[in-house]
Structure 1
Amino acid sequence: MFLLKDRNATYYARYCFSKDLVEIGFPAELRFSLSTKKRSEAIDRLMVIMSHIRGYVSTWDRDGNIPLTLQRLKSELKAIRQRNFCHVVDAPPLPVKHVLPVLEVKPSVSKHQINKRLLDDFIRSKEVENILPRTIQQLESRIRAFVKFAKANALEATTKHAMDFRDELLRSGKAEKSVIEYLAAARQFYKWLRLRGDLDKNIFEDVSVKRKSRRASEDRQRWTKSDLYKLFKHPSLTPPSKNIVRTQRELEDYWLPHLLLYTGARVSEICQLDTADIKLIEDIWCIDINDIGQDKRLKSASAKRLVPIHPELTNRGFLHYAQTRYENKQQKLFNFRATGVNKDWSARFVNRFGKILDDLGFIASYRPTLHSLRHTFIDELQQSGVAENLVADLVGHTKTNLTFSRYGKRINLTSLYSTVKSLDVL
């Protein structure tokens, strides 16, 4: 409806701008008083106003300044009303050069819209890099936390905003590792903005957290010998009695912790294994950790590797278990599936293992975990004096030493098997 009444029964005109004009900064509508309470008179005046607005919009220069355009239109409409709605418009000319700074401002876009567009662009950029959905979600939520805290257009945020955000994270009681990850996400976002040309400086470039005086190895617990002894005395992790047939779930509860302890692999790497990944190469039985197959993923290129099977696993019957699965035409070594948007292979088993730890009296948040078995494997090899580059090949770490990382090749299976065989944990 173009003709409406206000609460005083005075008629006014209502003109709605087209969608394409609204998208570039025009208001959704323009209202203008017709200065009459008589309907017939209001209709006549409406025709004059609508004709003028439509003619004005149709001849508007699309590259023109929108605030100035609207100001001129309103000035002309006011002149029409002052002349008792006659068609002739003699509005005072407006300066070509904008006198007031506000007239130089680009179409009004809210900081929320700007921040959303920038973050959406950033997330799309990360998605094409084939980054895990979980990592994408974490990046997005941590960057949103800063944008919400700063209460500013992301392009206008300052180093002070970044420093205040760091201080707020520390005051909130978040763990040091979490604070570092929040800052790293924001730093990555602002680096992307700088590289894209939106900003000249990364406001998070020099914003960091002074780490507590402890070694990185102390951040995660490993299993002590006494706790390992206690763990592997649990009924789910002890060898079955003769003639006792275990269910597939019971077999998984038994084999997963043993495999993690004697291979140093990540939980998801073991959960996603196929039966075909158990291979005999150069007369050595190995686990081929790879990303070949539906939804199989690796943390990095270095994670693709061969891990010799420890004699203890062979003695306990692991090869027999794998052969049985293969003969029964089972593609997967265990009955796990990638679940959720993050394609998580290990979530189900992590929860099950937590119940085992509860049964044994280990207190949540103060106990070693499944991942701690990997730390135990690495630490045992370190205590035995095994070279770091050899351990890196076994556990799928990137070699930090330039010589080994760039020029060194994978260590041969015989040497890897000798190292694994020397491991005596239990």
Structure 2
Amino acid sequence: MYLSATTATTAQSIASAFWSFDSNALELYNSGLDATLSGSPIYTTSFAGYGAAISFTRSSTQYVYITPKVLPFNSRSFTIEAWIYPVSLSSSNDYGIFGQCQATSSNLCLYFIARNNKLLCGFYNNDIQGGTIITMSTWHHVACIYDLTTMTQQVWLDGSLDGSHSASAYNGLWGNTAIGATFQLGSASTFNGYIDNVRFEARAKNSTEILNDATLHVYYSFDGGSLTDNGPNGINATAYGSLSTTTGRVNQALQFSSGPYISYSYTPFYFLGISGSSFTIALWAKPTGSYAQQTILLVEQPSGWCVHYLVMTSTGHLVANCWIGSNIATNGPIISLNTWTHIAYTYSTTNGIRLYINGNLNSTTGSFTFSGSGVPMRFVLGGDSGRTVCSPAYGGVFTGALDEFYLYRRELTAAQVLALANP
């Protein structure tokens, strides 16, 4: 199916567009860009744990198409981003993620696809393919970027540049604009799996922006007592008990006393359940009162797997824990009372846990592969919600203030940790 010039109107200027697929195909920023379902795709759990993603079955030729307006891609810079969860892709087929095709002629058909199990972004006879095999049955952040100023075409996988080359601009003025399908072969090349949070920007995003979009999972500034996610994914937290606002290390912070904590009614962190998956936790902490066994951060699967990732002993020592079938830990220093301390816990299979204090590497476990639960996780911040028995079998209510919480799905470098510790 192609949209004709008489049935679709190309918008002259659209700064950005966003399809969240939270149980509908509405576009959230503009009028005239809502998507229509073709082939009856269904909805499934989002990568973020709340809302939904859209599920496409290739054998049923399922996709969505955008009407009545056509997004303007011609002779300009743009960025297309999405989260994808591919299922059983064959090397003999193209699997469409996003596309717009006026005609199957040079620079008149835009397609962002998986081909030979690698990403490919092209304008027809003007393509760039990534070099990394896409892992099946896991979530990936993907991006296709064209920069008109540098005349560069790029594909990005999980925040890393996967392919780049010099390319002339896309020239199509109208055509079948679709998510979950492309039309470079004439008929629909549809996706097989889930797609979520599709974004369009009428500019070429830079490498820092793409890396953050792909790997900054949540960021809470806590300014004004807010638990709104200031990162790209909108994963807002919930207070259990009464929290108050206090002077922070940066602007304002949250004060914890008498047992309140922050958590979620769902499990938004799929990567914390995947064995060996890299991550970074960073925050400012200011314990008050007196030293006691207390939990800064617990990671848990409700009624199951749980570890006090950051916990203080009765003498005030900070301990960073993880799990390999038994507890594994690295011991940190005594955390001063009534003083802001920046804490960063990074993990990768190569380096294990690295515990940074005020931007400096303090201790490490060395290499290991942590044993995940195999299901999405959540965390408890500022306590352990009564699950003190979780590994290493001590912890409890945190008393003090917390500020500037970050969770990344990558291991930050020492320089990146140092930057967070020096806002």
TM above 0.5, yes or no, is no
TM range (shorter): under 0.3
Structure showing greater Rg? 1
What TM-score does the superposition give when structure 1 sets the normalisation length?
0.25
Greater helix fraction, Structure 1 or Structure 2: 1
Greater strand fraction, Structure 1 or Structure 2: 2
